[in-house]
Structure 1
């Protein structure tokens, strides 16, 4: 069957850092043809309808059709403890995260949390995510099984920790390697799934564990590697005390083979000049987590300074992040930019949540944009989803203004429909 979707359409030719004119294409009356799970055509509605007369039409009127949202950094095991009150990072991990992640030793509980997370992510228009799991292989199985059942493009891996974590939440140097390799062989490349090598962060891995994970990455260089970097100042001080020989935080990864273009480094707020230069030189990926960075009091990421130097995507960082919504995450990124004196353009925010995140995850040839040959992961946005937004739209004088109103005030009510791998979800 061939489907033809009608509505407003937004797609990108380039990164629209400061305005929409140079990077974003907006079709007021657009059409998208979906065939065999992929986008077969996109363009003005009348032209596309003429060329595809037998297609089944889905007319969304004035609603906006976009590439589905891509979450570059999430912790699905923390779904049930999202919005836990009042802690800095290390205390937050000890008080909330580690006790909850310990519960995922039970495969049935891991499955229930994975199912809950996937349903919440889809309700907010998320069609791709890259997640940390727990040390338990069953958590990886639960995550990928839930994603596979829904036809999602999903990425994730076993979180490895062999120190500075409670009993029941530590693995070993050998089990981190063995479990990760076995899970990689089981899941990587299955359907739309990709395995990601996942040391949590330097303080919870011994040098020996970091080294074997670096070895595993060198054996499977096509895989991504994800971890955390320079989230909070007291965390950085802790890293310095644990790795006194290191030049900086990034060096605790670089020294063990865990720095490269296929690396995704979450947060990266308090970077030293050398770290910025190395990330830029390698074109490594950074996951910007604005709701988490403000919720846990970590700091203000320098988007204006980093986006032009290396790959940067947007992330909810559930459950340190306080929302499952990519709209709320875009709004938080705007607010962080304002506090740094560099407000982000609406088109750039939308790019970050779609093509930017896909680019960071090295899958922008498959998802994150609307172009012939791309996988048909699409979200349909109601730009009049609430009374507050509707009254603002009455005064909008441009599409940029209209888009910005939904970015700042939208929630799951704005998600009108969803297409996953060419299949209508709702």
Structure 2
């Protein structure tokens, strides 16, 4: 045995091997060996006969869900200000709220609520925005460490085009604060890692972006930011960066799209063909946030096109643009918004299927963290145990049908077990 991370779950198992198909095994055995999946079997292989077995009965077992884009300080005002578009929403709701996190007492109260919700949710991996405040961001990392969820948390950088009360003094100060935060947190945690977080091009000067690009390369750090979310924002970037060929190019000039899949860009609703090729060449991940894009009237990203072109795509809840932290909700929303794009905007792009949406919320986003999001051999053992018995129905259902209903109908009360890298979260 290896610190309790050698065991077997028995139940109805669903997982993805690729974007198009869903693997289902009724009353199968999922083997965890030293925190990694040893595979799914119809009978327990001889070499694992001595492993303890948890029988989940008729419940479903799926990989843990991956949230590539969520704002922890915005959790406090989710469901508010949904009548505004992005830029007005930032000034009216977001910036005043994020400024409160300078006060550590307020930050502790708010972040404890956020961390508790994330622990109860189906999310086992998350990429999280904090605020510009070092102490509050470290506090957030402390709380996320306690949840057992594997996460990347970022101290936000912004030195222009935001209110005085939520703007760093200058690029040099922003870099110094970031370095201090990295020194304090880089080796502090088992479950949490830092991620560079320039908010977006409009809030970061060229000087700051250049410094962050150097820092990314020197320290081999991942990056998260926003790209092409809203048409007004895109026009603003054209005015701010007249020498860049596109919004994506403005990041790439500073090395912030990464080189081999180190960067997540949220939204990407309005990418040009040239930008898609650049994103693909850099291996940049796209965090598709359909609920947020609907709430803030931003649009519908062409996820079918991204998949056909072989881009890296996962899902994000984008609280509080998104109204909740559920990645099951993000799966359902990604299907529904793709239907609207197909019907109203581009009938050449077929809507997403359940299989594709499930892949995006597990293995699609999971690959940003490595071999994560599937039960294939060698993948890190992130798993959920799902009890759909209260979602009553009169007819017999296949395992695929049960999973589809769960995506549309469930909430965290239906999640009865959660593991991250073989460690039980609850």
Fold similarity call, TM over 0.5: yes
Equivalent position of 1:95 in the other structure: 92
Equivalent position of 2:10 in the other structure: 6
Residue 26 of structure 2 aligns to a residue whose secondary structure is strand
Residue 165 of structure 2 aligns to a residue whose secondary structure is coil
- Long gaps (5+) in structure 1: none
In 1: Cα distance, 2:66 partner to 2:50 partner: 31
Deviations 1:346-405 (A, max 9, x none): 12211111111112x2x132x32224443332111123343xxx22x7253x43322211
Q: Aligned-residue CA RMSD in angstroms?
A: 1.9
Equivalent position of 1:164 in the other structure: 161
What is the Cα deviation at residue 15 of structure 1?
A: 2.3
In 1: Cα distance, 2:245 partner to 2:199 partner: 20
**Corresponding residue to 1:381 among 374, 379, 386:** 386
The TM-score, its normalising length taken from structure 2, stands at 0.91
Contact 1:385 1:413 in 2 (8 A): no
Contact 1:158 1:198 in 2 (8 A): yes
Equivalent position of 2:204 in the other structure: 205
**Corresponding residue to 1:252 among 250, 253, 256:** 250
Contact 1:32 1:39 in 2 (8 A): no
Q: How many residue pairs are counted as aligned between the two chains?
A: 409
**Corresponding residue to 1:349 among 354, 357, 378:** 357
Deviations 1:146-183 (A, max 9, x none): 12122221102111111111122111201221222232
Contact 2:363 2:374 in 1 (8 A): yes
The 10-residue stretch of structure 1 (226-235 or 209-218) with the greater mean CA deviation from structure 2:
209-218
Residue 90 of structure 2 aligns to a residue whose secondary structure is helix
- Long gaps (5+) in structure 2: 343-349
What is the Cα deviation at residue 11 of structure 1?
A: 2.5
For residues 262-341 of structure 1, the aligned pairs below 5 Å read 262-309=262-309, 310-341=311-342
In 2: Cα distance, 1:105 partner to 1:96 partner: 16
In 1: Cα distance, 2:387 partner to 2:198 partner: 39
User: 1:220 and 1:165, CA in 2 relative to 1: closer, same or farther beyond 3 A?
Assistant: same
User: 1:280 and 1:373, CA in 2 relative to 1: closer, same or farther beyond 3 A?
Assistant: closer
For residues 227-238 of structure 1, the aligned pairs below 5 Å read 227-238=225-236
The TM-score, its normalising length taken from structure 1, stands at 0.91
Equivalent position of 1:58 in the other structure: 54
In 1: Cα distance, 2:103 partner to 2:154 partner: 17
What is the Cα deviation at residue 45 of structure 1?
A: 4.7
What is the Cα deviation at residue 291 of structure 1?
A: 0.5
What is the Cα deviation at residue 35 of structure 1?
A: 4.7
Contact 2:31 2:40 in 1 (8 A): no
The 10-residue stretch of structure 1 (324-333 or 258-267) with the greater mean CA deviation from structure 2:
258-267
In 1: Cα distance, 2:136 partner to 2:246 partner: 32
